[in-house]
Amino acid sequence: MASGKEEGVAKVNEDLSQVSADPGHSHETSNSHGTTMADRTQSMPSRWSEEITRNIFQAQKNKSNLERTVFAPLPPKQHILHFISSALEDMYEVQSLFSTDDVLKLVNDQYSAGSSNCHANPTRWATLNALIATGIHWKADNRAIEELFPISWAYFKNAFAIFPEIVMNNDGIDSCQAMIAMALLMKGTADTRAFTALLSAAAHAIHCIGLNLEGLYGSSDLIDIERRRRSFWTIYVLRCNASLNFDLPAPSDEVSVELPSQGLALDTSSSTHLLRHMQIICYPTCAVLILLTAVLHNPSDSEVAMNLTWIGKFVGFLKSFQDQEGCDLKGLIGFCSELYTIASFAQHNPAEQRDENENETAGLWRQYTVGSEDPMQLAQGLLTNMPMPCAKANKVFSGILTEPGEDGFTMLVPHILKPSSFNFFSNL
């Protein structure tokens, strides 16, 4: 007697044979290609049904999970203990979630299990690797970025390889904090799509485990309560900020969670680190666009000269920073210099900017007057890969910008801020 598996396969083969032989199907036409069913069945390989059979058996036998991949083992423990304590001093956003003692416990527990053991506690492995990667990002000297970032991205890939498991299992607050740690690293890059995707996953996780509902579990452990509050408010603040910067939906739930006992950590550093600057560069870029708008709308205004001066000062700052820190800001410098030139032309030739000719000033003036775009949205479109802001920026500045590359970034974004430069979901 044939087994149930063999009967099922035989039924599939029988159905396929009937489809091939049924005259009722011979004159059906595909709307998209205009070919008949007969043409398609005649072009199929003669052993097609046996290949399907083989694939079915292979799928039934392959019951393995997605593989966890270790891209780089952790460094020696004595090195990481000194490094992580020092790095936390600069990682002000991480301080909201992890104290030095918290991270040292992660380190000790992970090294007890093994420096490459991603199986004993996948969430711990992901969290620690994400923190190490972020620490390298924040501590790397600007002139050493090219050498150190490949290392940090290897550790981040260790963490991200566990991401599907964390999302699907969501075993509690540890999972939420692992996703926040990954999101915070991406926040320091220009890949806003990845950052907001990770942030959304973390936000979904906190709702699944009830972090948005104060006292759901009736915990009397003050440390646990504080940890839950800090996780909730970190995600909430990041989501509110993302909604303002990238025109995304803002959190709409009524908040009933009390604030942590101490305020979230603030960045009081005077560091000249490139990543720190690039996280806030959207604000002066937005200011430059506002000043440019004022000049184009009224080039005879008494404040035009001052507006031009401030645009020039920003260009000067970028050039000075690039020279002193050895950073590649040529794209941003070139773009802002072009805006300065256009604004200067408008000041000295106010009548020509409204001409029907195709000079850059007239083109920009028409774009600004046809529709009023949010300058912050334009700045984010220039500096990140968010599709909608990027489309708006490319429309307004079509006479200045080249088309974004396959990675979705404009020419303004330094390659070291693109994850694909370090083979993280690279198109190559």
So what's the pLDDT on residue 371?
A: 54
103, part of any domain: yes
Domain assignment present for 261: no
The verdict on 53 and 86 lying in the same domain is no
pTM flag (> 0.75): yes
Q: Is residue 393 located within the same domain as residue 343? A: yes
Length of the chain in terms of residues written: 428
Residues 299 and 174 in one domain: no
Instruction: Judge if 95 and 218 occupy the same domain.
Output: yes
Residues 136 and 239 in one domain: yes
Q: Are residues 152 and 34 in the same domain?
A: no
Q: Tell me how many domains the chain contains.
A: 3
pLDDT of residue 321: 92
Q: Are 361 and 319 in contact (CB under 8 A)?
A: no
- Residue 263 covered by a domain: no
- Please tell me whether residues 25 and 154 are part of one structural domain: no
pLDDT score at 326: 87
Which range marks the domain in which residue 11 is found? 4-61
Position 358 in a domain: yes
pLDDT at 32: 45
pLDDT at residue 27, as a whole number? 43
Give the whole-angstrom CA distance, residue 297 versus residue 43. Answer: 64
pLDDT at 400: 87
Pair 305, 191 in one domain: no
**Are 47 and 194 in the same domain?**
no
> For residue 209, is it within any domain?
yes
Q: Residue 10 falls within a domain, yes or no?
A: yes
The answer to whether position 357 is within a domain reads yes
- Neighbouring C-beta atoms of residue 57, cutoff 10 Å: 12
Mean pLDDT by 10 residues, the chain (428 residues): 50 45 43 48 55 78 79 93 85 85 94 94 96 93 91 97 92 93 95 96 91 66 83 92 90 82 57 76 95 90 95 97 91 96 88 58 59 86 94 89 85 94 78
Is the same domain home to 240 and 134? yes
303 and 413 in a single domain? The answer is yes
- The answer to whether residues 174 and 127 touch, using CB atoms and an 8 Å cutoff, is yes
